[in-house]
Amino acid sequence: METEIASGRGALLRGAEIIKRGGVVAFPTETVYGLGADAYNADAVAEIYRAKGRPSDNPLIVHIADTEQAEGLVTEFSDAARAVAKAFMPGPVTLILPKSPAVPNAVSAGLPTVGIRMPSHEVAREFIRECGVPIAAPSANVSAHISPTSAAHVYEDLKGRIPLIIDGGECGVGIESTIIDLSSDVPTILRPGAVTEEMLTEVLGEVTTFRGEVKVAKAPGMKYKHYAPKCDTVVADGPDAAAAEYAARRAEGKRYLILARESDCKALGREGVLSLGKTDEEVCRNVYGALRYAEKHADGIIFVDLGDDGICGSVMNRVNKSAGGRRVGLPK
């Protein structure tokens, strides 16, 4: 299959035609690119799993263009859901709510709940509106690889497997949406993102963040290997630990690349170092592109810890998974 990359109104309309015929289309959102299909068409949804090589027990988020589209998807839109929607939708947040029987099991992977998200990206909203149905979509990468933040990233992973990538430029946020489970007694963050625990607490009062290891149910996706570059990846406690690790690898004849925020780059010099940017938002926007660059150009990645504050904590949630939990400190 030829994979076309196209932008503009014509691409949107072609994409909507493909969706209406039961096919899959990659499209931009403000977080990462998604691989979409008609959420009410179980066969179309099955095609997403096939194209990505995704395990079938990992449910999909359903994307909507307006609140009316949520009505057929959930049995109840609670006060908490309304409050979060008012504060952060459209935007980088996904609500887990009790699902309506109309949502195929192929979307929810058999769970009694469904994830709902209204992207703020104009192209995403216009595309969903043209499709006329809610769009089920995971990130548009090969399962377990790094999520795509540009049309080129999607092409790298899915060329030959999907007919069309709608190009909407680089994603502004850069990591996947915050997932908040509102189907449990206490609202629970299942995946941190750009809408932080602090921001949600302001709106909801009590919020907890799920930090455990997932073996069954709740957030099935969390149990899989994720965000994994194709090369060795470690997290370093700080710039000094990163420099020591870099030197040790260099002595073995290997070229690693250190990824760090701009302020840490000063301590590191320029050789073998890639800056992720100055602000937290820049770092978040650049992180997946940097991991993809590094896996192509280096023997391995040394990622300097960003700390757990706010958005940086959400970025480290992904990077710690990229590294499979491997860390290096200073030699004792």
Nearer to ligand TXA, 221 or 239 (CB): 221
The encoded tokens of residue 199 equal 């921001």
**Nearest-approach distance from CB 4 to ligand TXA, in angstroms:** 20
Nearer to ligand TXA, 210 or 293 (CB): 210
What is the Cα–Cα distance from 193 to 36, expressed in whole angstroms? 21
- How does 261-280 read in b/e, with b if 16+ C-beta sit within 10 Å? beebbeebeeebbbbbbeeb
**Nearest-approach distance from CB 317 to Mg ion, in angstroms:** 13
Question: Alpha-carbon Rg of the chain, whole angstroms?
Answer: 20
- With CB under 5 A as the contact rule, the residue among 69, 94, 139, 286 that binds Mg ion is 139
Cα dihedral 117, 118, 121, 126, rounded to 10, equals 120
Question: Residue with the closest Cβ to Mg ion?
Answer: 139
**Nearest-approach distance from CB 276 to ligand TXA, in angstroms:** 19
Question: Residue with the closest Cβ to ligand TXA?
Answer: 221
Q: Answer yes or no whether residue 143 interacts with Mg ion by CB under 5 A.
A: no
Q: Which residue has the tokens 């979060």?
A: 84
Stretch that binds Mg ion, among 16-24, 138-146, 162-170, 241-249 (CB under 5 A): 138-146
What is the Cα–Cα distance from 196 to 176, expressed in whole angstroms? 12
What is the Cα–Cα distance from 80 to 210, expressed in whole angstroms? 18
The residues, any chain, with a CB within 8 Å of residue 203's CB and separated by 6 or more, are: 83, 84, 87, 88
Stretch that binds ligand TXA, among 16-24, 66-74, 218-226, 241-249 (CB under 6 A): 218-226
Q: Answer yes or no whether residue 115 interacts with ligand TXA by CB under 6 A.
A: yes
| Span 123-162, contacts to ligand TXA by CB under 6 A | 137-139
Q: Which residues would be at the binding site for ligand TXA (CB under 6 A)?
A: 29, 31-32, 34, 58-61, 94, 96, 108, 111, 113-115, 117, 137-139, 176-177, 179, 190, 218-222
Q: Which residues would be at the binding site for Mg ion (CB under 5 A)?
A: 139
